Every structure is written in C-alpha cells, then in structure tokens.
Structure 1
C-alpha cells in the first residue's frame, strides 16, 4: 500500500521536531512563523499548524505579545523526564527479554557493533542517534502495541542538547556501551530481571549526568 504524500504542515512539523529533538534549536529560543516559512519554502499557514502541534506536544509555549518559544525544562522536570524514561524503557527491556527473536537479537548486536566501531574511530558524534535507535528497538520488541510509541513520545518531549551528550566523552561513552552489551547478554539469557535493572540504571545515570552538566 502506497503512503499518502506528506502535507506541508507535516513536513514543517517533522523538520522542527527533528531540530528540537537534536537540540539544534535550544530551549528558550523564540520561533518566528514568518522566518520558518521563508526558511522552509512554505506559506505561513502550515507553519502555524505545525506550531500548534508542537505546543500540544508541550515542546513550545505561547505567551501574549511574545509568540512561540521552545520550552526549557526546569531541574525538577529534567529529573522527572529521566525517571519516566527509566520506568518505560526498563519495562521494555524486561518484556523484550521474554519476546525477543533470534533475528531481533542479531539486529541489536549489529547496532551495538556499529557503535563500537564508531567509538573506536572516535566518531562520538554518531553515537547518540544510534543509541536512540538501540533503545527504541528494545521498546518496540518489548511492547509493539503501545510501549514503543510511548517511548518515542517521551523522548521527543525533551531534546538532549548536542553539547551535553554523554556520548561525546569517551570514558562515559564506554561505560554506556558496556551497559548495552550487558543488556544484550541478558536478552540472550532470557533474563528479564537483569535486563530491566541494567536499563533503569543506564537511563538514570544519563539523567544524573545531564543534571550535573546543567548545574556546571
């Protein structure tokens, strides 16, 4: 079945969502509809529709006489974000250990090997997106009906600034690569308890790292 063509509003929404998720547009940045329309080569109407969707996603806010602004999470919200991620992705890992097929396990191993290769070649800027793929593959395996979609919604609700990514620091990156390997090993053993525990610790470590970086 052919997919319907993307509307202009969908196009603007996808572009802005990607820029927000990758933090190329940081928190606190004002978003001017006219400037966005000119940059993306569309009229003002699809831009306004896309901005309304982003407001519904709680990624931007509107204020009288100020227009749209990218939301910048408070310290408490940042901690909550990572706590929610830990619960959802931890559950995803537990369920995935019970459901994973040999082909799905091989796919996770391929992503992990690619990350190891990039780390060895000091291509640390490529690791963050691959880690996102690794985590979402797991929630898709563990909860294909609902959990994977919820994990994406949670992650999209708060982008990690590129400069704050732990993957840019070799020592911290290696620690997380080790955690990924331990999760894969737990899947191979069908050990849902261990997979969940490691995933929760893994995600919460990221939250503590972000909080420390923001304070510093």
Structure 2
C-alpha cells in the first residue's frame, strides 16, 4: 500500500465511522503529522475524498468534511433500498446451497450474539449479510455498487440501531424473512422485505437522529 493509499484508507474509515464528523476542517499538514507521512500523499488522499464527495474545498477554509443533511440521508437510504432490494431479488434465483448455508450461519451467529447481549458487532454483521446477498445477486456490478453507496455516508458505529435490543430483534426477524424468501426462490418477496428492512433504518434515523447500519 502506498502512503497515499494509506492516508486515504485511514481518512475514509474515520469519516465513514463518524470519528471525523461533518463540518470538520482537514489541514493537510496536521493530518500528515498525525499519520506519520509527508504532506504530498495526504493531499492526494484529500483529492480522492473530494471525488468521493466526502470532503469539499472552500476559499480560505481548505478541505472540510461534508456535513450531510436530511435530503442526503433520504437519498442514501433510497439508493440503498433500490440496489440492495434488486440484489435480493436476483439472489433468489442464483443463490446456491453453500451460499445459503453461509448466510444462515452468519444469521445464526448474530441471533446468538443478540441473545447474549453482545450487540456491538451486530452492525458489522448486518453489513456483511447485506453485501453477501448483493454479491450473490449481482456479482458483476451490484456488489460493487452496494459497497460504494454504503461508503458514501458516515455511519458512527456507536450510533447503530443494532445497539437497541428491541430494534435489533426486529431487524433480525427481517433477516430471517429475507432468508426464507431466498430459500424459496421468491425474488419478489426477497426484494420487498429487503426494501422494507432498509427503509426501516431510514425511519429510525429520522426519528432518533442516530445513523443506523
């Protein structure tokens, strides 16, 4: 990994997880000192983040992390619902027995973790569940697009809806319904449940002000 790639990956993760919140000014020299690299690779990383629309440049202010509002939130979850819903519909006709078993095992581990009160890792598990389905349904394009959409919106892990036991239980029930639809080869149901599942996250975000995973 080059120094520019390193700086980009670190900053991307920090922005995406909310460690660097929207509105934060990013000074290349300060970032370079913190990461132990020169200013040049940091500037290259900032240019890449600008292309990702995660930072913007303003006169006399330099690079600033984009502060995404309610319209961006609605667009984010709307795009996610379309992409991941399509992935679920296509996956219903393409999923293999081995892939279903892997999804079942991931779901089982999440259910067990929730029952034991280990909620911190459920958000990451949910992301793996969704992206595996997208990869199965659309290995050429959809999986890549699903990842790009998720990477475009900061999601602090500490604000995940999966940290609420009651909400987590409902989300796991939705995962179970998606799995049943995949097992039955019912693409229409898989798409509908996936879209409802993603949209439930958007509703929770608007009502509680916490970006769900």
Tell me the TM-score normalised to structure 2 length.
Answer: 0.95
Cα distance in 2 for partners of 1:187, 1:157 equals 28
Counterparts of 2:99 and 2:17, CA distance in 1: 27
Q: Does 1:150 align with 2:145?
A: yes
**Corresponding residue of 1:75:** 70
* In the alignment, structure 1 residue 179 sits paired with structure 2 residue 163: no
Cα offset for 1:63?
0.6
Offset at residue 122 of structure 1 (A) = 1.4
Give unpaired runs (5+ residues) of structure 2.
none
CA contact (8 A) 1:97 1:187 kept: yes
Q: Whole-Å Cα distance in 2 between the matches of residues 35 and 213 of structure 1?
A: 34
| Offset of residue 41 of structure 1 | 1.1
Does residue 212 of structure 1 match 2:199?
Answer: no
1:197 pairs, out of 192, 199, 206, with 192
Map of 2:11 onto structure 1: 16
Cα distance between partner residues in 2 of 1:107 and 1:33 = 43
CA distance in 1, matches of 2:39, 2:126: 35
- The answer to whether the aligner puts 1:112 opposite 2:70 as a matched pair is no
C-alpha root-mean-square deviation of aligned residues, in Å?
A: 1.2
Instruction: Give the stretch that moved more between structures: 125-134 or 196-205.
Output: 125-134
Moved over 4 A (4+): none
- Aligned residue for 1:100? 95
Contact persistence 1:30–1:69 (CA under 8 A): yes
Unaligned 5+ residue runs, structure 1? 1-5
